[in-house]
Amino acid sequence: MEDVIYHNGDFHFLAIWNLLVCTSTLHQGQGELQVRHERREFLRPDSVLADHCFDTAARYLVESRGQMLMVMRSHANNDNLPGLLPLEFSVL
């Protein structure tokens, strides 16, 4: 599990490129909590698949202007760029 965010009444759990969306409903009369879940997957852009100079360090879920986004932080692959540790951020 890389990150979790509460967005639009649901919990969103991020695990690499998979997103698990959990919706909970409390039935007042019965005192019962019902949880429904749905699995979604982020589509990887071609630029992420083709870029071998950077390794993904972390992924974060953020909310901006009512939209949920995934921010990916990458660092240089030392095999391709020895001695350099530049960071790169991508918003998906």
pLDDT of residue 91: 84
Q: Given CA atoms 64, 45, 12, 10 in this order, what sign does their dihedral have? A: positive
Residues 5-19 have pLDDT tens digits of 999 999 999 998 899
This prediction's pTM: 0.72
> Could you tell me the two tokens for 58?
């972390």
pLDDT of residue 79: 62
In angstroms, rounded to a whole number, what is the distance separating the alpha carbons of residues 60 and 46?
Answer: 20
